[in-house]
């Protein structure tokens, strides 16, 4: 039986483990992920399924993420009553989502876009579609807010010009007797 320990397979990926015996110390550098050599390409080349991670340098993938974030914030601004910001963010999210889904490679030698990623494009495609859905909701909220302000313009002008609470309550007579009127009504 040798005195030397057998290498533990659990420490193969440990960047803090001591170097193997007989090998000099060297400065630390991050390890490159090792991929199996049977699929195609070495550790630095993407395999046949495309890159598995988000590439911030790819404009199509960036637009997919921007569409999701912009649509989400546009929806929140629409719910919280700031329709102008919701309208802006919703329009940007629609643009970014559509351009991410339609993304094509810039040149034939340099494939890009969501279609070129293959199965790895699923998260970006989901982000672009989610961005389009939330952008549609944000635009719907902003449009309905502006439509209400236009339809009941007299009520909003009366309420904004009222100097006292009593005058503000009298503006309720300008609203219809339906659900919309009950929602917009100034409470006592």
Q: For residue 68, what pLDDT is reported?
A: 94
Q: Identify the pLDDT of residue 129.
A: 93
Per-residue pLDDT tens over the stretch 107-135: 445 555 666 666 667 788 889 999 999 99
CB 63 within 8 A of CB 71: no
Stated pTM of the model = 0.63
Tokens representing 6 are 């057998």
- Mean pLDDT in consecutive groups of 10 residues from the start of the chain, 188 residues: 58 70 77 55 47 71 92 95 95 94 61 63 86 96 93 92 92 88 83
Dihedral class, residue 46 (left if φ above 0, else alpha if ψ from -120 to 50, else beta):
beta
Burial (CB count <10 Å: 0-12, 13-18, 19+), residue 34: exposed
> Which two tokens mark 118?
């293959």
Q: What is the pLDDT of residue 147?
A: 93
Contact (Cβ atoms closer than 8 angstroms) between residue 107 and residue 77? no
Nearest to 131 by CA among 56, 42, 40, 68: 68
């Amino acid at each position: 039986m040798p005195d030397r320990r057998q290498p533990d397979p659990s420490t193969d990926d440990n960047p803090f483990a001591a170097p193997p015996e007989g090998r000099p110390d060297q400065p630390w550098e991050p390890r490159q992920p090792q991929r199996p050599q049977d699929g195609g390409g070495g550790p630095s080349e993407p395999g046949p399924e495309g890159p598995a991670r988000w590439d911030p340098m790819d404009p199509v993938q960036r637009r997919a993420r921007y569409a999701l974030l912009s649509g989400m914030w546009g929806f929140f601004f629409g719910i919280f009553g700031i329709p102008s910001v919701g309208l802006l963010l919703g329009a940007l999210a629609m643009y970014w989502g559509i351009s991410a889904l339609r993304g094509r490679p810039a040149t034939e030698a340099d494939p890009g876009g969501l279609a070129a990623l293959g199965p790895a494009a699923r998260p970006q495609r989901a982000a672009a579609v989610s961005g389009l859905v939330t952008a549609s909701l944000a635009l719907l909220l902003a449009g309905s807010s502006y439509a209400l302000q236009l339809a009941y313009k007299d009520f909003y002008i009366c309420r904004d010009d009222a100097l006292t609470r009593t005058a503000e309550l009298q503006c309720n007579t300008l609203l219809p007797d339906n659900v919309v009127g009950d929602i917009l009504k100034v409470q006592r």
